[in-house]
Amino acid sequence: MKKKINSILILLLFFAVFSSCKKEDEGGNGGLNSLIRTSAELAGSNCPGGGLKVEIGLDENRNGALDNAEVNTTSYICNNSPKTYVASIAQSGTNPPVSTVINNSLNLTIAWSRLSDGHYKGILNQNLDLAKSIILSNYIDVYCKFQSSNEISLDNACGGVNSYCDDFSGLNIEIRVY
């Protein structure tokens, strides 16, 4: 990530220096310097996972600092780290599954219900952007998928075609939102 940010900053500096300087005019006034100011961008609408704010402008008052009034371009370099929900899930008898949360930067809760042998539904406490979300599990015979932006299904196959069963433990799921 640092290498990417450094490369972008070098490119921005090159662009600012060679494209924004004004030539000296006939009245003897020198050209203006291009300046770049960077600051941390907190998680929000510009960068959901936080990142770096890059502001560019000309030093109109020639004080060597980019003042707020001199900023003419603002861009953001956002962190791409996904937010996650990681849990270990167990189920027995005709009871709904129970989650033991391991990591939860999404602040997500899942209310599980048992639909039938080996078929379960999880209702999320919030809607997720499905275009930026994935769900993973560690069991080859367990199928987890999004049914909607706030519902997931979990199906526990038992080795036969269309054969599903209850009673499992140690199932880990991870939901990532990028």
For 86-127, the pLDDT digits (tens) are 999 999 999 999 999 999 999 999 999 999 999 999 999 999
Residues with Cβ within 8 Å of 153's Cβ and at least 6 positions away in sequence, in order, are 119, 120, 121, 122, 143, 144, 145, 147
Angstrom distance (rounded) from CA 47 to CA 53: 9
The maximal CA–CA distance of the chain, rounded, in angstroms, is 89
Phi and psi torsions of 160, nearest 5°: -115, 170
For 126-151, the pLDDT digits (tens) are 999 998 899 999 987 888 999 999 99
pLDDT at res. 24: 47
Window from 6-10, 129-133, 138-142, 167-171 with minimum mean pLDDT = 6-10
List 143's β-bridge partners, or say none. 155
Token pair 């048992």 in the structure block, residue: 114
Residues with Cβ within 8 Å of 103's Cβ and at least 6 positions away in sequence, in order, are 84, 85, 86
Domain boundaries defined on the chain: 2-78, 83-177
Does the structure show a pLDDT above 80 at 6?
no
The tokens for 22 are 């004004």
For 18-46, the pLDDT digits (tens) are 444 444 444 444 688 888 999 999 988 88
Question: What is the side-by-side order of every strand in the sheet holding 98-104?
Answer: 98-104, 83-91, 168-177, 133-137
Instruction: Please give the distance of CA 143 from its chain centroid, rounded to a whole number.
Output: 24
Sign of torsion, CA 120 126 41 54?
positive
Token pair 């849990």 in the structure block, residue: 87
pTM above 0.75, yes or no: no
